[in-house]
Every structure is written in structure tokens, then in C-alpha cells.
Amino acid sequence: MADNGGVLEMTREEFEELVGEALDRIPPELTRLMDNVAVFVEDEPPAEDPELLGLYEGTPLTDRGEWYAGVLPDRITIYRGPTLRMCESREDVVAETEITVVHEVAHHFGIDDERLHALGYG
């Protein structure tokens, strides 16, 4: 990782490791409950939301009913570019990545932004 004119540089592989480590720190009693969800790392978010750090797409566990079968996995995407641009150190990247991963996993469990902000996961 290097500092390039005020913007941190971290390889995709290094960032993917941080995302994996953040997922590993989620308590096992929660990860066992995660169902039909895949986590991805992308370099940049959609152009219409360039500051987006993470995105959950899917059907939260709380909204799944008997109809829920044979569907594509939920998708959690963590974006490397905006995270590196907003952070000043590797420690900042580690902390922000963990917050973002927890935030998106919480959406999988049906926890909304308002509750996440109240819990300190803005």
C-alpha cells in the first residue's frame, strides 16, 4: 500500500483480504444464519453514486416467505475506490471496510439504515 498524492493505494487483492477479514470477524452465530448471499469487491460504484462504499441487493431474510426458492443469491458489493479515497491510513481502511461489511450484512438480515445509524454503523 502506498500514498499517491493523498490518495491511498491498495491492490485489489489486499482490499479483498480486508473484506474477507471483516467477514471473518462477524460472529459465527450470525454467519451461520446468512443464506444465499455472495460478497464481491468492485473497484468503483455505479457512476450515479460515486461515493458509495457498499451495496446490498437482494431479499432480506425478514422478507423471505414460502415463495423464496430457486432465486439468485443476494449480492453484497464492497467498493474499493471510494473507501481508499476517504481514508488517510491503512488503519482507517481496515476500520471503514469492517463498518461497510457489517452494514451490508445487516441489510441481509433486514436491519434498515436508521437502526444501523443508531447502532453506530453509519
Confidence at residue 17, expressed as pLDDT on a 0 to 100 scale: 96
What's the 3-state SS for 24-81? Answer: HCCCHHHHCCCCCEEEEEECCCCCCCCCCCEEEECCCHHHCCCCCCCCCCEEEEEEHH
- Under 8 Å between Cβ of 93 and 8: yes
Confidence at residue 34, expressed as pLDDT on a 0 to 100 scale: 86
When pLDDT is cut at 50, 70 and 90, the band that residue 9 belongs to is: confident
The Cα-based distances of 62 to 6, 13, 72, 111 in angstroms read 42, 33, 17, 9
Confidence at residue 69, expressed as pLDDT on a 0 to 100 scale: 80
Residues 12-40: pLDDT tens digits?
999 999 999 999 998 888 888 888 899 99
Continuous segment of H or E residues that includes residue 102: helix 90-108
CB atoms within 10 A of CB 101: 25
Residues 64-116: pLDDT tens digits?
888 788 888 899 999 999 999 999 999 999 999 999 999 999 999 898 888 88
Assess whether pLDDT exceeds 80 at residue 7.
Answer: no
Local structure of 105: helix, strand or coil: helix
Assess whether pLDDT exceeds 70 at residue 60.
Answer: yes
Higher pLDDT, 118 or 100: 100
Radius of gyration, CA atoms only, the chain = 15
Single pTM value for the model: 0.86
Confidence at residue 5, expressed as pLDDT on a 0 to 100 scale: 54
